[in-house]
Amino acid sequence: MDKKQDSKKDKITHKNYSISKYDLLFISLYIIAFIAGLVLSVKSKKYNLSLREQNPNYYYPTLLEIIINTAILTVILLIAKISVEKILFQFPEIILVDKYKKNEFKHEKEKAKRKMTIYGVKFFHYLIITIVSYFVFNKLEFFPKELFGNGDMNKLYYKGIENFSFFERPKYFEFHYLFNLAYTFADLICVVFINDRQTDILVVLFHHFCTISLILFSYYNHCDGIGAIIVFIHNASDIISYLARTFLYVVAPSIIKKVLTVILLINWLYSRQFLLGKVIYGIFVNITWESFGIIESFKFLLIGLYILHCYWLYKLIQIVYNGVKGKFIDSTEFTKDKKNKKII
């Protein structure tokens, strides 16, 4: 009888302490991000009116315009994304690594094909959008040399809010900005409603919430100059990220996969840790004008993203360590198949 009571106590104790330190971290980040998003929703109109007083002849898109245009682009991108993935999913299974051709891994083959397809489509998306972005941004005086531009990011703050919010935007700048917002929405819909459930779903949802909030409200509040640099950093770094992840499932020499994982780590350290950190530092140091809580909310969201990137860096180091030893493991797994919707 005593043994049974002890075992029950052990189970209760286990249940009480089942939340890990990472769960607590992301719960805290979610709360902070929600508060920051709420402030942006409430205070944006006031900040927008203050901008209109300083430059009444400037073009100011309304939230309704942004939402309608983004919704149209989201539908187009969603249809295109699903269609391309469906076509690529029909490719012969011969390109899958030999592991999935064995009977004991037969049940994992479909999941591997779906992941390889999704990663491959994302690789080409980020490759194309980064090339297009570069030709749109490279003549901006604040597009930095660290991103192979000819400018200096400090010029964005050179004349205060005048340069920061009212710089001359190049052709297709606004469309490109909304395109990235729409793609984030389309990807979020795929993650939640179409693709199989991922093990890191809560982390991905946090990332998408922060990204959507930052792009939407930075565009509405004319902070899209600094936003364009942040978006470019993310898109450019994702090229290597999804190329390396695609190769996890493709038949290829082990040395290529090892080299890709090492390049991925170097790329991540440079882009997501160093460059993004430098941009965030610049926002903290150089923005001194009154923003009614808007800039402060952006700071909280960006710090949340940066903490998330540090967490992903930790996971990435594990992947690279295993990859160098010849064990190529994806950090994300599909844990649950969609029963009602089989798009690919």
Residues 300-344 pLDDT 10s: 999 999 999 999 999 889 888 887 777 766 655 545 445 433 332
Residue 92 DSSP one-character state: -
Higher pLDDT, 51 or 327: 51
**pLDDT value at 3 more than 50:** no
pLDDT of residue 328: 67
Question: Are 80 and 122 in contact, with CB atoms under 8 Å apart?
Answer: no
Which range among 55-59, 275-279, 340-344 shows the weakest confidence by mean pLDDT?
Answer: 340-344
Task: Look at residue 151 and give its three-state secondary structure.
Answer: strand
Which pTM was predicted?
A: 0.88
d(CA 248, CA 217): 36
Would you list the DSSP string of 243-282? HHHHHTSB---HHHHHHHHHHHHHHHIIIIIIIHHHHHHH
d(CA 180, CA 103): 41
| Residue 105 in tokens | 């891994």
Closest CA to 194 of 76, 87, 340, 330: 340
pLDDT of residue 100: 66
Residue 19 confidence class, pLDDT cut points 50, 70, 90: low
Residue 334: which H helix or E strand, with range? strand 334-336
Residues 82-139 pLDDT 10s: 999 988 888 767 677 666 666 666 667 778 888 889 999 999 999 999 999 999 999 8
CA distance readout (Å), 214 to 10, 232, 295: 45, 13, 10
Q: Greatest CA separation found in the chain?
A: 82
Residues 174-220 pLDDT 10s: 999 999 999 999 999 999 998 887 777 888 999 999 999 999 999 99
Residue 257 confidence class, pLDDT cut points 50, 70, 90: confident
**pLDDT value at 60 more than 50:** yes
Q: Looking at this protein, which amino acid is placed at residue 228?
A: A
pLDDT of residue 94: 66
Q: Sign of torsion, CA 135 132 66 215? A: negative
Residue 198 DSSP one-character state: E
**pLDDT value at 26 more than 90:** no
- Give the CA angle between residues 283, 286, 292 to the nearest 5°: 70
Average pLDDT over residues 242-260: 88
pLDDT of residue 319: 82
Task: Look at residue 337 and give its three-state secondary structure.
Answer: coil
pLDDT of residue 128: 97
Return mean pLDDT, the chain. 86
Would you list the DSSP string of 103-136? GGGHHHHHHHHHHHHHHHHHHHHHHHHHHHHHHH
pLDDT of residue 106: 65
Average pLDDT over residues 281-293: 94
| Residue 316 in tokens | 């990435």
**pLDDT value at 41 more than 70:** yes
Residues in the chain, overall count: 344
Q: Long-range CB contacts (< 8 A, 24+ apart) of 297-301?
A: 297/36, 297/37, 297/39, 297/40, 297/43, 297/217, 298/36, 298/40, 298/214, 298/217, 298/218, 298/223, 300/32, 300/33, 300/35, 300/36, 301/33, 301/36, 301/37, 301/210, 301/213, 301/214
Residue found under tokens 């920061």: 164
Closest CA to 120 of 221, 248, 259: 248
Q: Which of 51-60, 83-92, 294-303 is modeled with the greatest confidence?
A: 294-303
